[in-house]
């Protein structure tokens, strides 16, 4: 029996080609339709509510603009832990972290985005700001008015752990900056002040939200020291006048940055939508959402609208006092840095 | 400093609302309160020490929690007693609760709360650490070690098959001998490195010497695009691609005698549309029909092979068609004077084809000269299966068209050897039949009345030799020009790891049957009837 290969190949190819078309049509692969897209925003602890609102608004905006259906997933945790997760392979299209150093770490260690990422968006890629304030219990029973009151005996302070939390690092630096200013730039006295501060800390949570839980829900401590947005949120959600906010005489300007994780977004085909997502944060709509969720907006008009919620404060920047995040990290939060020394002294 | 005072609602924390209206209490209660508070403080200090010394000790943690509970109960009892005393004032008891006592209770309460919260955080930290700790898993899928993020995995699997072969009504000249056979004995080492790179290394100790069955590295860029290099199963035959652990019979059908068992080379493949279509394309050293290639090759001629397989209804709602799959595999090579390009030699001394009992019924055994593969060798295999519920059907056709050369007469020919088979199965115990095997609903456990899964199987297969083969390339007196075999069997799947197979196969022959005491003559002198059993352990 002789079989002609060409005949067999032609017949088989025809049959398979037809079947493939049928299969693809049945699977919906070749039908013309708008795209379904997914974005993963890896963020820090207290931004859950902000991005729940913002994601809904942006998904609608994107659907209206392009017809694409966008599903945005959120991941939250201590800023440092979140950065480590991205470095270790969590495929974030976008990171919206508590501080620039954590994004720098992603750029330097995982090389997922350029090291000059912060120049890509206005305001150092920080579309909103916040600061560090005190949340005390109703009536302020311990009479806490400023940083000096925190280091008195028998005061229970609830911050988060600077090793894992962005808010905690801002808190630490705010306390240090205050002490420096008060003592004419004396680093030793600043360290002494911060050492006393952490001696009054009974619980160190890994993230800002955990610290809020400790103070608000578990009823531990006299004062929660952390994000202004988190304090206002606690005030709003407690609903029974259980707490009060104390704005100290001096604090730090916290600039939580946002950026696209370029290589992840490229691999997942989300570069365009991820970039648009971050740009939308700077629009009046995005700024309004940030303000409603108690973050200080950059947009002047929106900021004026919400001025009553955000008192004007005397704020210093990390660049002014510490020379930027890299130097601050190395001096204070790296292994063996001043925070480790303070913890050792505490023991 | 600015203070925000949100409303006038009362605070909820009890400890922050000391009862200033005690209205007189018995002195003895005050004394008792002091005593218990003092004891509580001591205990709290002890608890702190205990916690500091033994953070990771489960025993200590349990003791700690128990003592916290005891303390809480004592505080509650004090508060209750105090309340009772307040509501039932006795004469001459007008003193209020000393503020020092109230503060002590508050401090004690805070210490308990701090201890509890720190314990909670320690537990969370321990859980987080556990997530980062490498994992060891032992189960019916084998033994596995993996990093916490599963980017690095090492699995130890294994396969042991012990067979019996009993030839029925075989004459004295038959080469078929009854006996026990260690058919396969394979430790299988496989795993993943850096998330996307898989590997497998499989030796086999069942033969007279150890052989390397599989050795490959696979890069999973995406499910749709994977690159594999090494020694692996080639893409041509459907039945051949089915795992050794799940086949319906001890031996594959005569169809698989016309495709390479393994090949060495580079292969690109993947699944499209979530498995609606799968493909493989590769370039290999090439191997003869039914052959395992040598681990090296110094022949410039390479084999190109590929396969496209469709399951068009896999994702559809048509349940009755979801298990339908069909496709085609093929290969092409231009071989130059290579004896290894001819079929396997299992069961005989010359290259040829074998039965279900692994007896050779055809050999390239011309009366004069020797035969080598020389020229174009192509294969084509339309193939398909259908699974629905407990029923399964698998069919395949293969044509292997091979250029051959008689080294003495220098006769040449292109010989088209063809084979086809259809096999069916029915899982009597109701489990779903599939290409990848059966998972017993209830593993064998006679004490609890569980008997595993039972599977009825049947197969018909036929292999036809090109008529131009006989004369210059094979001897029609000894080799059959066609073999037809049917088989029935009953398989017992005790659990995911143990399987017992039993089957009866009968293969009849056209041609051959001439005198001789060796294969293929001795084999083709009468139909082969063989009863096969297998005990298989795989994990």
Q: Which residues pair with A186 in a beta bridge?
A: none
Local confidence band at B139 (pLDDT 50, 70, 90 cut-offs):
confident
Does the structure show a pLDDT above 50 at B373? yes
Q: For A275-325, how does the pLDDT look when each residue is reduced to its tens digit (9 = 90+)? A: 999 999 999 999 999 999 999 999 999 999 999 999 999 999 999 999 999
Question: Burial level of B139, CB count in 10 A (0-12/13-18/19+)?
Answer: exposed
How close B349 comes to chain A (CA, Å)?
27
Q: Which two tokens stand for residue A48?
A: 């859950």
The mean pLDDT of A16-41, rounded to a whole number, is: 66
Q: How far apart are CA A268 and CA B217, in angstroms?
A: 25
Local confidence band at B17 (pLDDT 50, 70, 90 cut-offs):
very low
How close A121 comes to chain B (CA, Å)?
32
Q: At a CB cut-off of 8 Å and minimum separation 6, what does A307 contact?
A: none
* φ and ψ at residue A332, rounded to 5 degrees: -115, -40
How close A119 comes to chain B (CA, Å)?
32
The mean pLDDT of B105-131, rounded to a whole number, is: 86
Contact A202/B114, CB-based, under 8 Å? yes
Report which of residues B218 and B98 the model is more confident about: B218
Task: Give me the percent of chain A exceeding a pLDDT of 70.
Answer: 89
Asked if the C-beta of A272 comes within 8 angstroms of chain B's C-beta atoms, the answer is no
Q: What is the pLDDT of residue B28?
A: 44
Does the structure show a pLDDT above 70 at B93? no
- A12 → closest Cβ in B6, B312, B328: B328
Respond yes or no on whether the N-terminal peptide bond of residue B520 is cis (omega within 30° of 0): yes
Which of B274, B276, B312 to probe the A interface (max A CBs under 10 A)?
A: B312
Q: For B272-292, how does the pLDDT look when each residue is reduced to its tens digit (9 = 90+)? A: 999 999 999 999 999 999 998
Local confidence band at A22 (pLDDT 50, 70, 90 cut-offs):
low
- Closest chain B residue to the Cα of A204, Cα to Cα: B118
The mean pLDDT of B404-415, rounded to a whole number, is: 96
Q: How far apart are CA B359 and CA B456, in angstroms?
A: 25
Local confidence band at B81 (pLDDT 50, 70, 90 cut-offs):
low
Contact A246/B2, CB-based, under 8 Å? yes
Q: What is the pLDDT of residue A1?
A: 42
Asked if the C-beta of A153 comes within 8 angstroms of chain B's C-beta atoms, the answer is no
Other CB atoms within 10 Å distance of the CB of residue B384: 18
Asked if the C-beta of B103 comes within 8 angstroms of chain A's C-beta atoms, the answer is no
Q: How far apart are CA A26 and CA B317, in angstroms?
A: 10
Residue whose structure tokens are 């799940």: B246
Q: Which residues of A touch B3 (CB under 8 A)?
A: 140, 145, 244-247
- B416 → closest Cβ in A2, A205, A235: A2
What number of C-beta contacts closer than 8 Å exist between A and B? Answer: 129
Q: What is the pLDDT of residue B78?
A: 66
Asked if A41 contacts A225 with a C-beta cutoff of 8 angstroms, the reply is no
Q: Which 3 state secondary structure label does DSSP give B120?
A: helix
Contact A243/B8, CB-based, under 8 Å? no
Q: Which residues pair with B139 in a beta bridge?
A: B142
User: Average model confidence (pLDDT) for chain B?
Assistant: 85
Q: Which residues of B touch A2 (CB under 8 A)?
A: 416
Q: What is the pLDDT of residue B296?
A: 84
Q: What is the pLDDT of residue B131?
A: 79
Asked if the C-beta of B1 comes within 8 angstroms of chain A's C-beta atoms, the answer is yes
Q: For A214-232, how does the pLDDT look when each residue is reduced to its tens digit (9 = 90+)? A: 999 999 999 999 999 999 9
The mean pLDDT of B116-142, rounded to a whole number, is: 86
Asked if B430 contacts B268 with a C-beta cutoff of 8 angstroms, the reply is no
Q: Which residues pair with B404 in a beta bridge?
A: B373, B413
Q: What is the pLDDT of residue B98?
A: 53
Does the structure show a pLDDT above 80 at A164? yes
Continuous segment of H or E residues that includes residue A223: strand A223-227
* Predicted TM-score of the model (pTM): 0.62
Q: Which whole-number Å values give the CA distances from A90 to A36, A100, B345, in the listed order?
A: 21, 18, 52
Q: Which residues pair with B373 in a beta bridge?
A: B338, B404
């Amino acid at each position: 029996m002789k079989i002609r290969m060409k005949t067999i190949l032609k017949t088989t190819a025809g049959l398979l080609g037809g079947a493939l078309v049928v299969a693809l049509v049945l699977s919906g692969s070749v039908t013309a339709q708008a795209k379904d897209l997914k974005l993963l925003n890896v963020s820090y602890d207290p931004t859950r509510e902000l991005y729940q609102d913002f994601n809904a608004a942006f998904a609608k905006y994107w659907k209206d603009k392009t017809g694409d259906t966008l599903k945005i997933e959120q991941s939250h945790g201590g800023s440092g832990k979140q950065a480590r997760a991205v470095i270790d392979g969590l495929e974030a299209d976008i990171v919206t972290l508590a501080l620039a150093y954590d994004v720098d770490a992603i750029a330097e260690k995982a090389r997922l985005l350029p090291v000059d990422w912060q120049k890509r968006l206005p305001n150092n890629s920080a579309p909103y700001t916040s600061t560090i304030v005190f949340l005390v219990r109703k009536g302020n029973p311990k009479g806490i008015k400023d940083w000096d009151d925190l280091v008195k005996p028998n005061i229970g302070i609830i911050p988060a752990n600077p090793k894992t939390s962005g808010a905690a690092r801002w808190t630490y630096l705010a306390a240090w900056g205050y002490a420096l200013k008060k003592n004419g730039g004396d680093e030793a006295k600043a360290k002494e002040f911060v050492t006393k501060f952490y001696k009054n800390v009974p619980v160190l949570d890994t993230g800002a939200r955990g610290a809020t839980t400790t103070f608000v829900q578990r009823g531990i401590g006299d004062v929660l020291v952390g994000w202004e947005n988190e304090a206002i949120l606690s005030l709003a959600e407690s609903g029974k006048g259980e707490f009060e906010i104390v704005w100290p005489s001096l604090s730090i300007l916290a600039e939580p940055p946002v950026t696209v994780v370029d290589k992840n977004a490229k691999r997942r085909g989300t570069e365009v939508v991820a970039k648009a997502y971050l740009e939308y944060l700077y629009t009046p709509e995005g700024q309004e959402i940030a303000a409603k969720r108690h973050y200080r907006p950059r947009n002047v008009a929106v900021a004026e609208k919400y001025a009553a919620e955000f008192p004007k404060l005397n704020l210093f920047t990390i660049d002014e006092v510490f020379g930027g995040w890299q130097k601050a990290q190395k001096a204070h939060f790296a292994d063996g840095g001043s925070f480790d020394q303070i913890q050792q002294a505490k023991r | 400093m600015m203070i925000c005072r949100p409303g006038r609602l009362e605070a909820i924390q009890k400890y922050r609302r000391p009862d200033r209206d005690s209205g007189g209490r018995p002195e003895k209660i005050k004394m008792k309160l002091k005593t218990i508070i003092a004891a509580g403080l001591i205990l709290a200090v002890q608890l702190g020490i205990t916690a500091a010394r033994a953070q990771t000790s489960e025993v200590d943690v349990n003791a700690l929690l128990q003592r916290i509970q005891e303390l809480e109960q004592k505080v509650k009892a004090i508060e209750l007693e105090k309340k009772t005393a307040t509501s039932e004032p006795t004469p001459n008891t007008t003193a209020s609760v000393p503020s020092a006592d109230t503060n002590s209770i508050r401090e004690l309460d805070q210490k308990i709360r701090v201890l509890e919260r720190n314990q909670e955080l320690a537990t969370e930290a321990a859980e987080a650490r556990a997530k980062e700790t490498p994992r060891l898993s032992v189960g019916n899928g084998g033994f596995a070690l993996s990093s916490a993020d599963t980017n690095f995995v090492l699995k130890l699997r294994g396969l042991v098959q012990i067979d019996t072969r009993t030839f029925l009504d075989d004459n004295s000249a038959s080469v078929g001998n009854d006996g026990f056979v260690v058919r396969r004995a394979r430790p299988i080492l496989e795993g993943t490195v850096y998330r996307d790179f898989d590997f497998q290394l499989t030796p086999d100790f069942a033969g007279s010497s150890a052989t390397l069955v599989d050795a490959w590295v696979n890069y999973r860029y995406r499910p749709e695009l994977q690159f594999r290099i090494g020694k692996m199963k080639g893409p041509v035959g459907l039945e051949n691609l089915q795992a050794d652990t799940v086949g319906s019979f001890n031996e594959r059908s005569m169809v698989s005698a016309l495709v390479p068992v393994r090949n060495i080379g580079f292969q690109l493949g993947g699944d499209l549309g979530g498995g609606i279509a799968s493909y493989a394309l590769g370039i290999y050293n090439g191997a003869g029909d039914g052959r395992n290639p040598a681990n090296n090759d110094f022949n410039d001629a390479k084999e190109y092979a590929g396969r496209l397989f469709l399951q068009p209804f896999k994702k559809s709602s048509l349940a009755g068609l979801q298990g339908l799959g069909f496709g085609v595999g093929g290969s092409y090579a231009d071989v130059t004077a290579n004896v290894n390009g001819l079929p396997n030699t299992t069961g005989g001394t010359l290259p040829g084809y074998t039965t279900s009992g692994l007896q050779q019924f055809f050999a390239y055994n011309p009366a004069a000269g020797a035969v080598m593969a020389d020229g174009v060798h192509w294969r084509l295999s339309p193939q398909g299966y259908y699974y629905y519920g407990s029923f399964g059907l698998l069919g395949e056709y293969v044509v292997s068209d091979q250029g051959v050369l008689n080294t003495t007469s220098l006769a040449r020919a292109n010989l088209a050897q063809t084979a086809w088979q259809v096999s069916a199965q029915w899982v009597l115990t109701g489990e779903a039949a599939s290409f990848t095997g059966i998972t017993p609903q209830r593993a064998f456990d006679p004490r609890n009345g569980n008997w595993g899964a039972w599977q009825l199987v049947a197969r018909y297969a036929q292999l036809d030799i090109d008529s131009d083969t006989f004369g210059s390339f094979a001897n029609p007196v000894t080799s059959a020009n066609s073999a037809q075999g049917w088989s029935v069997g009953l398989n017992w799947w005790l659990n995911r790891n143990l399987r017992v197979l039993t089957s009866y196969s009968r293969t009849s022959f056209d041609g051959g049957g001439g005198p001789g005491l060796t294969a293929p003559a001795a084999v083709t002198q009468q139909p082969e009837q063989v009863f096969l059993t297998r005990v298989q352990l795989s994990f």
